[in-house]
Structure 1
Amino acid sequence: MFSFSVPKWLNKHLFTGKNFADLSEAELADLKKRLSRFKDDQPDVSVVIPAWNEENNIFHALSSLASAETDLKVEIVVINNNSTDRTQQVLDELGVRSYFEIKQGIAHARQCGLEMAKGKYHLCADSDTFYPPKWIDIMVKPMMKDPGITGVYGRYAFIPPEGQGRLGLWLYERFTGIMVQIRKRNREYMNTLGFTMGFVTEIGRTTGGFKVGKERKFDNAAGSEYFTEESEDGTMALNLKKKGRLKLVRDERARVFTSPRRLLLDGGVWAAFTNRFKRNTGGMAEYITGKSKS
């Protein structure tokens, strides 16, 4: 049963109260050693992370991925999308394979990662998200077992801001979980999220990739002048469905924990809930029948 607290596996990756520059020599050495396992030149799986000014976030995500329990050959790749802070120095110091994408926007960053990935399977991750030890294996397994599954997407929860509980976040997660089930039949592409999804790399490349008409910024805050409903992850999902089907990975061992910063940019948990409730209830008939209002 899912609890209101964060899981124990996550604690070692929080580095509470520390920025990257505050890490001790021992912590740095440990992180580098763990990451050194994930540089295979002929990987089964590529885990790809887009990054824009994530100097003090990305080492948390990398720490969690570096603790993966897997026998698969894995490469971890970061796409630096014009960061102006020390993101690149962090990646260099940790010895992480990285590429620079000059076109600004998360769709361009993810597309660059898709083009550079070497693995048969591609897992999308984010700089502000923590990944449980079995995440890689559990996410890839459905595609390995069934060639008709071209893509997968997972479940998630939020890490509460310091000094706050998870009750409000839990309620928000329950609502989104209900919407996932409602959309699954006719609008499943809307369920896929770039911080926990995966696909067969070659199918992702040959069906259109992450390319979108309107560029989405990294935060995509609701109400901002740059907010757009079109997303690179949903576009990829639609492309993957041209060659097969998607699968929701329900295993709790693959549930990732992510930062609530996008909710906070929307004005807080309640404002984010209200915005999404209005958007989702407005499209309820479409989700159920599959027929657009227009």
Structure 2
Amino acid sequence: MALFDIPKWVKLHQFPDKKFKDLSADEIADLKSRLSKFRSADPEISVMIPAWNEENNIFRTLSSLASSNTKYRVELVVINNNSTDNTQHVLDELGVLSLFQPNQGTAHARQMGLEAAKGKYHLCADSDTYYPPSWVDLMVKPLRTVKGCVGVYGRYSFMPKEPKERFMMTIYEKITGLLIRVRKYKREHINFLGFNMGFLTEAGRNNGGFEVTEVRKFDNAVGSDYFVDEAEDGRMALNLKKVGHLVLVTAPKARVFTSARRLTSEGGLMQSFLNRLKLHSNRMKEYLSGPSSENF
């Protein structure tokens, strides 16, 4: 993978300058056909995606997942979290299995997906992220082969608005990679991110799931008035660690590409970097030695 470029596999699913309504009949038929294999009635793996007003993003995510070369039986389910746009129309048009969660918030959507999941293995994805062809199998592999592994999480890169932005994003991601390694010892749950993680379904379901005290909004921008420190993905990680351990999947072919809109909502790449520099500088001691309290 070129460090400062977008991989070819991502470009296959970008549909440049197109909204869903702009897709041709052939493009929709192709998407629908490729997605049809993810409607297993007896799945080994459940891929669950929360969505809120994502009509012009989610078809790209679905296209990337539909190109998975997995050897497993998979169900793919989108939890429509009270969308007010045409997200449901997109799902219906593409023949995607969906649930409707009227309670607003990512935690509510993910919890509904967890309760409905039929697969032994549960993978969490997001509706603004691209997934490489080997993602499903590479994420599930440690859950099947590593003794005591109950959860997995992977690496990620950001999608730029302009190709030239990838250079600075790559530097940002390299620093994040170092933080992930540091946090792995004492604060690993912070590494567990909802758009690129998985776990044994029963382990997640039986140990508290995604239940949190405050439900975050979808971008949860650092520095905003609505930022919530306790996220449902981190809470799931802590719940899973009650019964086993987590594995970081480092395979390059498992790296996902996700939207940079959270960075935009925080004021851009540089402002986001400064926000996180302040946040992580204040927390470095607990990353190395553990928290001084039971706080999240």
- TM bucket (normalised to shorter chain) is over 0.9
Q: What TM-score comes out, normalization by structure 2 length?
A: 0.97
Unaligned runs of 5+ in 1: none
1:3 Cα offset (Å)? 1.6
Structure 2 counterpart of 1:208:
208
1:113-192 correspondence runs (5 A)? 113-162=113-162, 164-192=164-192
Matches within 5 A, 1:81-96: 81-96=81-96
Q: How many equivalent pairs are there?
A: 294
159-168 or 5-14: bigger deviation: 159-168
Residue type at the aligned position of 1:58: I
Structure 2: distance between partners of 1:139 and 1:61? 17
Q: Displacement of 1:162 after TM fit?
A: 3.3
Whole-Å separation in 1 of the counterparts to 2:163 and 2:206: 46
Please give the root-mean-square deviation of Cα atoms over the aligned residues, in Å.
1.1
Cα displacement (A) at 1:186: 0.5
Q: C-alpha distance in 1, partners of 2:72/2:126? A: 21
C-alpha distance in 1 between matches for 2:221 and 2:139? 28
Q: Percent identity?
A: 60
What does residue 12 of structure 1 align with?
A: 12
Q: Give me the whole-angstrom Cα distance separating, in 2, the residues matched to 1:44 and 1:278.
A: 42
1:232 corresponds to 2:232: yes
Letter in 2 for 1:83: S
Alpha-carbon separation, structure 1, partners of 2:196 and 2:273: 20
Partner of 1:258: 258
2-structure distance, mates of 1:164, 1:128: 20
Q: Distance in 2 between matches of 1:172 and 1:261?
A: 15
Alpha-carbon deviation of 1:233?
0.3
Tell me how far 1:221 sits from its aligned partner: 1.6
What are the equivalent positions in structure 2 for 1:32-71 lying under 5 Å apart? Answer: 32-71=32-71
Consecutive unaligned residues in structure 2, runs of 5 or more: none
| 3-state secondary structure, aligned to 2:150 | strand
The more displaced of 50-59 and 277-286 is 277-286
Structure 1 pair 286/2, CA: closer, same or farther in 2 (3 Å)?
Answer: farther
Question: Structure 2 matches for 1:237-252, cutoff 5 A?
Answer: 237-252=237-252
